[in-house]
Amino acid sequence: MGGRTGGRTAAAMVLVVALAIAVGPPTDATPRAAVPPSVADAYTTRRPPLGPTTVVDISAATNDEKLLATTLQGQLNRDVAQIYLVGSSWDAPAIDQAWIDRYVADGLVSVAATTDLAGLLDAHAASLPGYVLADPARDWEVNAATTIATATGAVVATPATVGLLTSRGVGELDDVRNRWPDAVTAYTDLVDTYRSQLAYPGVAVASPGVHGIRDFTVQQGILTLYTRPETPGFDQVMALIDRYPTGHPVYGTISSSASQEVIGVGGLSLQGRYLVPTGTMNNLSFHLAVGADEPRVPARPPSDAADDCGAPGETLVALSVSDADNLRVPLSPYDTNRWWNSPRRGDLPLGWSLPPSVAILMPAIWDRYADELAPSDELVSMMGLGYTFAAVWPDARPYYRDAFAADAALGLDTHWSLDVFLREPDHPGWDALLAEAQAPPAGPSGILVNYGDFGGDHEFRVDGGRLPVLTSRQDTYDTGDDGLIAQLTELAATLADERPPVAFYSVTVWISSLDGLADGLLPLEEQGLRFVSPAHALRCVPREPGGPTGPDDPSTPTPPADAVPAAARPGSPTYTG
């Protein structure tokens, strides 16, 4: 998650300590997929239809003006998704423009007008009941004002932008300046007062100076707050989050560093929650409506997911691109010449992380990637419903049940977990996963684990040998093209009988590129390595450590749990660390 390029390997190691103490689109005959409503409905409170669209360029606006614009966008998109902002995020406005242009070219969106913030206010100020005034110098006031505006139909203003509203006849609805001495007091008051008035039974952790996500929180009726581990008030704010029911995503971002990520996501996990990283998203109130009136295009399996497990002495290597649990990744950097748009896509087999939440919250963007899969591409379910460490949940079975149902509906056959405990084949965290993987609809055919290398067995099977698992051998999350090429060059130079039969390496999306990897890795196929999709590699995981590779035999039934020797089964005690 996030745009930073370091630390996930170190972060996961901290977790152990902290918690333990090019193909065209399908033909018309291709069946369409629908995520079960019981899963999709957990993410939103409303799904407005798409209307004639006004594109508003705010790329030159101040940050306070973007706060006003995004909260106005959220109010105007509540009943009809009609406003699209260019330049509301931290990223380049060109990315926003590229996606609206693609929607128009694909016949999905009709642009009725283009304007700027002043034009948007001229058109819609009369419909506003008022504004909520906040001082951004006290950062909790921005989230407090956003929450109150969400509940009252208002927008958020600051002293720098209030004139844009009063000059158009919009009056003050509330003024939160100096109301609370600190963030914890403010957020406690907000939860006490507004939780019952807001539609969404959960929260968004929104950085006070980053406003792109506010259109979505306003549209969906989500209370916004802010906290970070290792900062004052973190435990108290986490206790406020724990007052909400589980079963719905926490939106936003709960960390600003690797160590914070572990503590923050770990804290949510211990409550039985998952994070949908959206801290740098924008226009989500609009994206969720584009293409939503049609079922989704299902992912096609990679063409190489067959029974060929390699010649003697050959090592099958699977690569998969990281981080698309962060919903910003499918917008960019995936949609760049470094990755999806590279003319070399298809030369090197790749897994592409893409969670079901993309199909739910950005349906047309999901369809774009599912439509354009090359024969050697594979879409991989990135952690299912959201970012969490399910091994420490009080009860993870409902989580896996919904995750695997969404995966099955979308054609996702490989599940990628960042739950570091699952690197141990006998950890009790496997119990809930396996219980739901055995239940209909069909669970995943294989599991990828982690981004970095934590030692131990890198390829093993659980569930009596039925379910293959590959854990990443990437040195660290900070490993880019050169480091990964060097690591695999060293593997190729190893004596054949000392190499593993199959190996999995995570590829960090922020610091790598498809062209760089293809140039450096494909020549290694002359030295005993063969690059395959994750699904292909998983089928060839040996049934016993050090045993011969061999494809799964679909005719072999899965033995009942009581027929599997106890030493081969995951442990059953509840994790209490």
Q: Answer yes or no: are the C-beta atoms of 36 and 409 closer than 8 Å.
A: yes
Domain presence at residue 16: no
Q: In whole angstroms, give the CA distance from residue 266 to residue 245.
A: 17
Q: Answer yes or no: are the C-beta atoms of 113 and 54 closer than 8 Å.
A: yes
pLDDT digits (tens, 9 = 90+) for 4-32: 334 554 454 444 444 443 333 333 444 56
Domain presence at residue 571: no
Q: In whole angstroms, give the CA distance from residue 85 to residue 120.
A: 10
Nearest residue to 473 via CA among 492, 461, 488 = 488
Last residue of a domain, one of 251, 272, 287: 287
Q: In whole angstroms, give the CA distance from residue 507 to residue 323.
A: 9
E strands, 202-314, where? Answer: 203-205, 223-225, 250-252, 275-277
Domain range for residue 470? 315-552
Q: What is the pTM of this model?
A: 0.90
Q: Tell me, yes or no, whether 267 and 366 share the same domain.
A: no
Domain presence at residue 257: yes
Q: Tell me, yes or no, whether 353 and 243 share the same domain.
A: no
Domain presence at residue 376: yes
pLDDT digits (tens, 9 = 90+) for 325-347: 999 999 999 999 999 999 999 99
Q: Answer yes or no: are the C-beta atoms of 334 and 510 closer than 8 Å.
A: no
Q: In whole angstroms, give the CA distance from residue 41 to residue 73.
A: 22
Domain presence at residue 29: no
User: Who's near 14: CB < 8 A, 6+ residues apart?
Assistant: 258, 259, 262, 263
Domain presence at residue 308: no
Nearest residue to 10 via CA among 363, 544, 18 = 18
Task: Classify residue 127 as left (phi > 0), alpha (psi -120 to 50) or beta.
Answer: alpha
Domain presence at residue 392: yes
Write the DSSP symbol of residue 472: B
| Helix axes of 363-371 and 93-105: crossing angle, nearest 10 degrees | 70
Dihedral angle sign, alpha carbons of residues 550, 553, 554, 557: negative
Please, which residues bridge with residue 318 across strands? 504, 532
Sequential DSSP letters for 516-553: HHHHHHGGGGGGTEEEE-HHHHHHT--SSTTPPP----
- Tell me which amino acid residue 567 is: A
- Parallel/antiparallel/unpaired status of strands 350-353 and 529-532: unpaired
Q: Tell me, yes or no, whether 270 and 394 share the same domain.
A: no
Quick one: tokens of 101?
Answer: 């242009």
- The residue to which tokens 């992912």 are assigned: 299
Q: Tell me, yes or no, whether 93 and 199 share the same domain.
A: yes
Domain presence at residue 436: yes
Q: Tell me, yes or no, whether 174 and 235 share the same domain.
A: yes
Q: In whole angstroms, give the CA distance from residue 373 to residue 380.
A: 12
Per-residue pLDDT of the chain (577 residues; tens, 9 = 90+): 444 334 554 454 444 444 443 333 333 444 567 899 999 999 999 999 999 999 999 999 999 999 999 999 999 999 999 999 999 986 679 999 999 999 999 999 999 999 999 999 999 999 999 999 999 999 999 999 999 999 999 999 999 999 999 999 999 999 999 999 999 999 999 999 999 999 999 999 999 999 999 999 999 999 999 999 988 999 999 999 999 999 999 999 999 988 899 999 999 999 999 999 999 999 999 999 999 999 999 999 999 867 799 888 999 999 999 999 999 999 999 999 999 999 999 999 999 999 999 999 999 999 999 999 999 999 999 999 999 999 999 999 999 999 999 999 999 999 999 998 999 999 999 999 999 998 877 789 999 999 999 888 999 999 999 999 999 999 999 899 999 999 999 999 999 999 999 999 999 999 999 999 999 999 999 999 999 999 999 999 998 655 555 554 433 333 333 322 222 222 222 212 2
Q: In whole angstroms, give the CA distance from residue 537 to residue 413.
A: 13
Q: Tell me, yes or no, whether 521 and 375 share the same domain.
A: yes
Q: Tell me, yes or no, whether 218 and 329 share the same domain.
A: no
Number of domains in the chain: 2
Longest dimension (CA), the chain: 79
Q: Tell me, yes or no, whether 219 and 353 share the same domain.
A: no
Q: Tell me, yes or no, whether 502 and 354 share the same domain.
A: yes
Q: Tell me, yes or no, whether 230 and 325 share the same domain.
A: no
Q: Tell me, yes or no, whether 220 and 111 share the same domain.
A: yes
CATH number at residue 504: 3.20.20.490
Q: Tell me, yes or no, whether 281 and 330 share the same domain.
A: no
- Tell me which amino acid residue 251 is: Y
